[in-house]
């Protein structure tokens, strides 16, 4: 096509119109990059932006047993293609890990995905029609929107917190009923425990209330409830029997789990994960498995074989599994200390934030997140402005730096308070 002075970019671009104005740089990685540049230039900067657990002394925290097991995988097996849906032993081990001793494990199928991200991708592609919207809380992990948009779906939200700071069951109920009336089907995404970005973990009464509402609405149309438990091992004691609570959705709805080793095995780069789907009806389960396998073939074909083989061993060999648990306990303690210091200092500094019992992030509410974050950057502290709040990655903040972060948050808020 020849371009004329009056032709628009979309007339001339080789890209389709939808792809024309995509933001090329993830805002979190952009802030992270800026903080790193200042650090390299010799400035004393706290970088509380990125969602990976860092040792107090700086390097990425890893589990040595994961490193060793990955390195010991037979290179010839690792070099071969994995089965499209994933190694059967891996999938069995993942289902057992996700559901523990609960009978739901006998009513579940799974496929391998590159991390929880891949699992969420498959859920959106298979449980929502193009043009429909998934339902999640008003604070949510930004890639939900990217994944939905990329798949030509959308995101709708319900107000996450009630007046007491608990999970807003009433808002969820209204949104669920309204979506069911409009769409005739619903895909719910709940990230618990240790919700990103707020740090909030749902308690048993809140989980049961959600399950009960799903059970009621599933009589009107299909519902898939996806639990994004990327931070599963970092929840406080209240995260308890989440499987038993959500299993109360009944026989009509599907319970999905976006399972991933990124945080729970401190292994972000291997891209090992799975979408687990439980349903009471064997014929429906087999259709779900086929649909998910088809999506694997139609996207990434198959996943990282080396990672899958190593994680299978770590899940199934009792001695290695025990070592994972021991080594993970050290990481949980590392993070818990930062959470403890934050919870001690933040209320005294007048910060307002949701119930926070543990997790990689916490959000502090502010009327002007951009201005507050800008003031904090002047003080050498990097956090991520999100909707109506600042996301603080305590996972990336040494315990000794938490008081400085709290002080910078106080100054960031003071800068925007009338």
Helices (H), 218-258: 242-246
Minimum CB separation from ligand PLP for residue 76, in Å? 27
Alpha-carbon separation of residue 145 from 139, 149, 274 (angstroms)? 12, 6, 20
Angle between helices 64-71 and 305-316 (to 10 degrees): 120
**Which residues, including other chains, have CB under 8 Å from residue 308's CB and lie 6 or more apart?**
82, 86, 87, 90, 112, 272
Q: Determine the longest span between alpha carbons in the chain, in angstroms.
A: 70
Nearer to ligand PLP, 307 or 369 (CB): 307
Cα distance between residue 100 and residue 98, in whole Å: 6
Nearer to ligand PLP, 94 or 408 (CB): 94
Angle between helices 369-378 and 402-414 (to 10 degrees): 130
Nearer to ligand PLP, 83 or 273 (CB): 273
In the complex, the residues that contact ligand PLP under the rule CB under 6 A are 51, 115-117, 141, 191, 196, 228, 230, 260, 262, 268, 273
**Which residues, including other chains, have CB under 8 Å from residue 207's CB and lie 6 or more apart?**
192, 242, 245, 246
Nearer to ligand PLP, 234 or 342 (CB): 234
φ, ψ dihedrals at 162, nearest 5°: -90, -175
Nearer to ligand PLP, 183 or 198 (CB): 198
Nearer to ligand PLP, 200 or 382 (CB): 200
Minimum CB separation from ligand PLP for residue 219, in Å? 30
Residue nearest to ligand PLP (CB): 115
Minimum CB separation from ligand PLP for residue 391, in Å? 11
Minimum CB separation from ligand PLP for residue 157, in Å? 15
Nearer to ligand PLP, 183 or 264 (CB): 264
* In contact, 148 and 117? CB cutoff 8 Å: no
Minimum CB separation from ligand PLP for residue 115, in Å? 3
**Which residues, including other chains, have CB under 8 Å from residue 360's CB and lie 6 or more apart?**
51, 53, 194, 196, 199, 231, 234, 263, 335, 393, 394, 395
- The HSE-up count of residue 105 (CA atoms within 13 Å, CB side) is 13
* In contact, 66 and 266? CB cutoff 8 Å: yes
Cα distance between residue 207 and residue 188, in whole Å: 13
Minimum CB separation from ligand PLP for residue 226, in Å? 10
Nearer to ligand PLP, 273 or 385 (CB): 273
User: 14 exposed, middle or buried (CB, 10 Å; 0-12, 13-18, 19+)?
Assistant: exposed
Minimum CB separation from ligand PLP for residue 313, in Å? 19
Minimum CB separation from ligand PLP for residue 116, in Å? 3
Identify any residues that bridge with 186 across adjacent strands, giving them in sequence order. 223
Helix, coil or strand: residue 223: strand
Minimum CB separation from ligand PLP for residue 239, in Å? 15
Nearer to ligand PLP, 94 or 413 (CB): 94
Nearer to ligand PLP, 191 or 218 (CB): 191
Minimum CB separation from ligand PLP for residue 47, in Å? 16
H or E, element range at 361: strand 361-365
């Amino acid at each position: 096509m020849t371009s004329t002075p009056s032709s628009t970019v979309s007339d001339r671009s080789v890209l389709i119109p939808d792809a024309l104005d995509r933001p090329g740089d993830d805002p979190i990685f952009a802030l992270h990059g800026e903080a790193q540049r200042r650090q390299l230039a010799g400035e004393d900067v706290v970088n509380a932006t990125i969602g990976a657990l860092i040792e107090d002394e700086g390097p990425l925290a890893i589990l040595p047993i994961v490193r060793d097991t990955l390195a010991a995988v037979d290179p010839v097996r690792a070099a071969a293609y994995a089965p499209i849906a994933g190694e059967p032993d891996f999938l069995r081990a993942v289902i057992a890990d996700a559901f523990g001793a609960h009978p739901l494990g006998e009513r579940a199928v799974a496929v391998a995905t590159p991390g929880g991200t891949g699992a969420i991708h498959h859920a959106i592609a298979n449980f929502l029609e193009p043009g429909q919207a998934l339902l999640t809380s008003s604070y949510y992990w930004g890639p939900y929107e990217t994944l939905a948009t990329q798949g030509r779906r959308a995101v709708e939200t319900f107000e996450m917190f009630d007046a007491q700071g608990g999970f807003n069951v009433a808002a969820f109920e209204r949104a669920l009923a309204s979506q069911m009336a409009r769409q005739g089907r619903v895909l719910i995404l709940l990230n618990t425990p240790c919700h990103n970005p707020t740090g909030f973990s749902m308690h048993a009464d809140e989980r049961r209330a959600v399950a009960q509402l799903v059970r009621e609405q599933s009589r009107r149309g299909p519902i898939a409830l996806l639990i994004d438990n990327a931070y599963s091992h970092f929840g406080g004691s209240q995260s308890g029997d989440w499987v038993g609570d959500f299993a109360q959705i009944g026989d009509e709805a599907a319970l999905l789990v976006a399972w991933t080793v990124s945080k729970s095995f401190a292994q972000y780069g291997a891209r090992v994960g799975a979408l687990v789907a439980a349903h009471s009806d064997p014929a429906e389960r087999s259709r779900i498995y086929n649909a998910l396998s088809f999506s694997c073939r139609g996207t990434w074909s198959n996943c990282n074989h080396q990672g899958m083989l190593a994680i299978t061993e770590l899940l199934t060999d009792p001695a290695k599994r025990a070592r994972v648990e021991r080594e993970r306990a050290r990481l949980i303690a590392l993070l818990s200390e930062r959470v403890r210091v934050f919870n001690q200092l933040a209320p005294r500094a007048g910060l307002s934030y949701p119930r926070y019992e543990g997790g990689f992030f916490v959000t502090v509410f502010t009327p002007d997140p951009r201005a507050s974050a800008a003031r904090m950057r002047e003080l050498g502290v990097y956090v991520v402005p999100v909707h109506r709040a600042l996301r603080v990655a305590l996972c990336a903040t040494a315990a000794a730096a938490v008081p400085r972060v709290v002080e910078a948050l106080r100054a960031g808020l003071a800068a925007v308070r009338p």
